[in-house]
Structure 1
Amino acid sequence: MSADLHQQIETIFRAIALKAGDVIMEVYARPDFEARAKSDNSPVTEADEAADVLIRAELAKAFPGVPVVTEELSESHAIQADRFIIVDPLDGTKEFVQRRGDFTVNIALVENGVPVRGVVYAPAKDRLFYTRADGSSVEEAAPFGETAGVLTPIQVSKPDNDALLVVASKSHRDAATDDYINRYTVKDAKSAGSSLKFCLVATGEADFYPRLGRTMEWDTAAGHAVVLGAGGVVLRFDDHSPLTYGKAGYENPFFLVLSPGVILR
């Protein structure tokens, strides 16, 4: 892929995520909005659907011919390709419905099983993370304009294995996760929703994020790209091999997100 195309991806992914965030926040600002359960009992709202329509239209215009896999379009889940874009228009719908703010827009480019470019935008938190054309990751400071503002390079921590900073799911924390975390010497454990957990590892605000629960590739690809660009790793829980994408059904195994300095137990 040419350098020009990588620059185009950085600019366009950022712009689309911000537009989708505006659509989501319009719904979020209402005193009431529609939410219903999908076939897997996960919630979906008007905001998920409106953001999905916008993102798919913008991607089709910008990258015609590149397949797009998105959570909200079930027929896209049959796509199999070496290069594809994968989207979760609103990750953290439970957080959105409960008005807790920890929800994100996620867009990623996957090549040969690896999420190489991604953007994670948390519109209620005014936090925007993305990979640049050179593969490094940054956080952009609010307010967000048509062109990029102040960018801060982000880097994973140099952890102290005798005092680890751990982040875990806010809505999906369970006894198995707590038992696993208890194998480590933890200084502080915090909870966060959606793909923000990846970004907290990418910025060094947390050393380690274990996920012992069901996720789909659209939940994780953009955050995964941001972590890779910040020097982190994302490993399968079972054999500590790299987590890959384009799997049948787009379902992930359990996984670990970490600074390479964390000693796994």
Structure 2
Amino acid sequence: MTYDELIPVIRRLALEAGDKIMEIYNADDFEVKVKSDASPVTEADEAADALISAGLTEAFPDILLVTEEQAASHTRTGDTFLIVDPLDGTKEFINRRGDFTVNIALVENGTPTRGVVYAPAKGRMFYTLADGRSVEESGPFDKSGAGQASPISVSEPDNSALMVVASKSHRDQATDDYIGKYQVKDSKSAGSSLKFCLVATGEADLYPRLGRTMEWDTAAGHAVLAGAGGKVIRFDDHTPLTYGKEGYANPFFIAYAPGVDLKEA
């Protein structure tokens, strides 16, 4: 598999999954179940997962596939793997707030190197090109080939007036206390992996996450942010956030534009 082969496939599958998700989102009602970890799952999560998994397996049968909705994949490990969150922001989806995304990423040697984040309700799609640079494509979206895509880049932060983005559904006092260490011009809330993309486009400078996440929640957004010049590090020791960890669970982390003067935990 080459990057030139990968990018059109993950872009198309994200769009197809987004169509399926929006069919269910716009219906009068949809089924919501509770998983073993007490998190919600909808028929949209399951339908998008089935579509993406089938497409990736057909296109790249020899590459390990890890997806949120297939628990059996969570114990498999490898240096190179595709990782999928078919609907990140399920709570946003259930509450019809629009801040949910389709996420597909390639991880190589512990680092997300390529990925796509598609927010179908917002009509925004971010992905890495084959050369690793990140772009945002504006609709209408053509599944047969890329449309008009513009390069994106992180901001040059003003540390006396930072733009901060934090979780909409999982914000807590510890997060607010950490944000309080900075001189903040404005703070906004966003759901799902969109927070990485807001840093990638320069709409925010800093995204701290002091809460539980899994690698499928973050890999695609991490790849997009890295391709726009951003960084993602562990909250505790400021070393790079790595992937392929046992159980695919993340520590707390900080995503940021490199000009931010980072504060200690």
Normalising TM by the smaller chain, what interval? over 0.9
- Give the equivalent residue in structure 1 for 2:145: 147
Residue matched to 2:95: 98
1:37-85 deviations in whole A, cap 9, x for unaligned?
1111111000000000000000011001101000000010011100000
Work out the CA distance in 1 between the residues paired with 2:193 and 2:242. Answer: 17
Selected match of 1:131 from 118, 128, 131: 128
User: CA deviation digits over 1:168-195, x for unaligned, max 9?
Assistant: 0000000000000000000000000000
| Distance in 2 of aligned mates of 1:138 and 1:224 | 14
Q: Which runs of 5+ in 2 are unaligned?
A: none
Structure 1: distance between partners of 2:62 and 2:28? 40
What one-letter code is carried by the residue in structure 1 that aligns with 2:187? Answer: A
- Paired residues in the alignment total 262
Structure 2 residue 5 is the aligned partner of structure 1 residue 8: yes
If the length of structure 1 is used for normalisation, what is the TM-score? Answer: 0.98
Equivalent residue for 1:81?
78
Query: Residues of 1 paired with 2:18 and 2:54: CA distance?
Result: 15
State the AA in 2 paired with 1:192.
A
Matched, 1:117 2:114: yes
Q: What's the RMSD between the two structures over aligned residues?
A: 0.6
SS in 2 for 1:90: strand
Map 1:1-265 onto structure 2 (within 5 A).
Answer: 5-145=2-142, 146-265=144-263
Q: Deviations over 1:82-118 (max 9, x none)?
A: 0000000000000000000000000000000000000
Partner secondary structure for residue 72 of structure 2: helix
Q: Secondary structure at the residue paired with 1:101?
A: coil
Whole-angstrom CA distance in 1 between matches of 2:178 and 2:97:
26
Q: Which amino acid aligns with 1:88?
A: D
Once the two structures are TM-superposed, the CA of residue 20 in structure 1 deviates from its matched residue by: 0.4
SS of residue in 2 equivalent to 1:138: strand
The separation in 2 between residues aligned to 1:190 and 1:9, in whole angstroms, is 33
| Deviation at residue 8 of structure 1 after TM alignment | 1.1
Alignment gaps of 5+ in structure 1:
none
Aligned-pair CA distance for 1:25: 0.5
- Give how far 1:147 is off: 1.3
- The structure 1 segments of at least 4 consecutive aligned residues displaced by more than 6 Å after TM superposition are none
Identity %: 70
